[in-house]
Structure 1
Amino acid sequence: MPHSSTLHSAPTAAKSLQIGLWIAQVLIFVAFTVFGCMKFFMPIDHLAAMWVWPGDVPPRFLRLMGLIDIVGGAGILLPALTRILPRLTVLAALGCVLLQIVAFIFHSSRGELSALPLNAILLPVCLFILWGRGKKAPIIAPRG
């Protein structure tokens, strides 16, 4: 017979995982939508004063990166929160993981080492969401 603490630890662990995933999803939503809106809406000279690269890429590229960030951030949270096509959360997490890998390569190739800590934080959080919502604690769409 299992020990009583074993019986109670599984639900507690599952609840802790759910809480951790929701916190991660909200943090990624906020980070990606804030940075995305900055890239999409702010004047390029303002962005170039804050970050090195926006003045070095074509404006359409910068705006596209902003749009991708916004869509990724929304996709990480909204499908899971609304339970409308919640599988999109997993796809958004995969996209955000790939985006962080590409951003890491982009900034490294340009010698922009000051940008890498942010990517180094966002990447594992996105991987956690991808793993959690893809394998351990997926959000299930309501039936009917």
Structure 2
Amino acid sequence: MNLALWIAASLLALVALTGGISKTFIPKDKLAEMPNGSWTGHASAAFVKTLGVLELLAALGLILPAALDIAPVLVPVTAVCWIALMIGAMITHYRMGDMKVIGLNLVYLALAVFIAWGRFGPESFIG
């Protein structure tokens, strides 16, 4: 179970890192031209960059606290925050008519639920 949680956290961290880098460093106009990026055309540049920074922080929060054994409770807390982010993403993509992307968001949400459940529950770093 512990290995599965580390794998799930690593996969989700990679997703967060990739999304965070693109939203933080690629101009909003270029993001809007990318597949599944049309939503950025309706958001401010500051909002898109803020999401990017939050995703970069999530990538760190899913791995580093446990790897460094410094406040490892931040791993499941980060997973819960990711769940909230994915719910917002699904609402946004639904409003934009990007139904295909919602399925991918559901996969990311499921990974985060698994991490939160496992790290708050049976494989907790607490205690």
- Give the 5 Å matches for 1:87-102: 87-102=73-88
Relative to the length of structure 1, the TM-score reads: 0.82
SS across alignment from 2:121 = helix
Using the TM superposition, give the Cα deviation of residue 52 of structure 1 relative to its aligned residue in structure 2, in angstroms. 0.8
Q: Distance in 2 between matches of 1:21 and 1:114?
A: 26
Paired amino acid for 1:109:
R
Matched AA of 2:124: P
One-letter amino acid of the counterpart of residue 25, structure 1: A
TM-score calculated relative to the size of structure 2: 0.93
Distance 1:106 1:48 in 2: 14
1:116 shift after superposition? 0.9
Gaps of 5+ in 1: 1-16
Asked whether the equivalents of residues 79 and 116 of structure 2 are also in contact (C-alpha less than 8 Å), the reply is yes
Which amino acid is the alignment partner of residue 36 of structure 1? G
Query: Deviations for 1:56-77, whole angstroms, at most 9, x for unmatched residues?
Result: 2110010011111111121111
Q: Which runs of 4+ in 1 moved over 4 A?
A: none
Match of 2:104 in 1: 118
Which residue among 41, 60, 63 is the counterpart of 1:74?
60
**Greater RCO, 1 or 2 (C-alpha within 8 Å, sep 6+):** 2
Q: Give CA deviations for 1:96-130 in whole Å, capped at 9, x if unaligned.
A: 01111111111112212132122011000000000
Match of 1:27 among 4, 11, 15: 11
- Structure number with greater Rg is 1
Counterpart of 1:27, as a letter, is L
Aligned residue type for 2:52: G
Q: How many residues align?
A: 125
| 1:108 match | 94
Residues 40-67 of structure 1: per-residue CA shift (max 9 Å, x gap): 1011222111111112211001001111
Unaligned 5+ residue runs, structure 2?
none
Corresponding residue to 2:118 among 111, 132, 142? 132
